[in-house]
Structure 1
Amino acid sequence: MTDHNPGDVALELERLRGTVEAGFARVDGALALVVQRSDQTDRRLADLDTRLDAVERRRWPLPSIAALAGVVGLLMTVWQATIAR
């Protein structure tokens, strides 16, 4: 085995520490970005849900339109039958 100078070992450990700290800083920054994007996505999803609810409240349901058309057709038939007499 080779003898290691304690100063060299300490220097190498300090370099490793710096590398690990830099890696943690990059991971921390990337994680913060992911959290920010997740929050933005949650806000957009809530906004879209609100808008969809508003659209659904304002739309006429198709069965109601069909029933209304049927009633109008019946009234027109009765009206024409009474006029034809």
Structure 2
Amino acid sequence: MTAPPPPDLGVYISPAQTHAEVRRVADGQIRMEAKLDAILADQREHRETIADHEQRIRRLEAGRWPLPTIAALAGIGGLVLAAVPLLQH
């Protein structure tokens, strides 16, 4: 092991200190990667949920289209039934 340099040359950082700092940074990176993996997993779940909701909404919309048509036909039918007695006189 080398001796620390004389005090007039500036700040001395020992190899042990350097190693400890590198380990601290590496541990922080590992924690960030774990959090990122969890975020990505949540995002995948959200995408699947949104796709499911989109599919369900499309099915509901597809089932509703006859309702306005039936209402319009019922209105026309009522108008015709109301007009028949007027036209018979």
* Superposition TM-score tier, normalisation by shorter sequence: 0.7 to 0.9
Gaps of 5+ in 2: 1-5
- Give the CA RMSD over aligned residues: 2.6
How far off is 1:19 after superposition? 0.2
With a CA cutoff of 8 Å and minimum separation of 6, indicate the structure with the bigger relative contact order: 2
> Could you state the TM-score of these two structures normalised by the residue count of structure 2?
0.73
C-alpha separation in 1, matches of 2:66 and 2:56: 17
Other-structure match for 1:71? 76
- Structure 1 unmatched ranges of 5 or more: none
The aligned counterpart of 1:56 is 61
Q: 2:39 aligns with which of 34, 56, 62?
A: 34
Following superposition, the deviation at residue 16 of structure 1 comes to: 0.5
- Read off the aligned partner of 1:12 and give its amino acid letter: Q
2: CA distance, partners of 1:48 / 1:63:
24
How many residues align? The count is 81
Residue identity opposite 1:14 in structure 2: H
More helix by share: 1
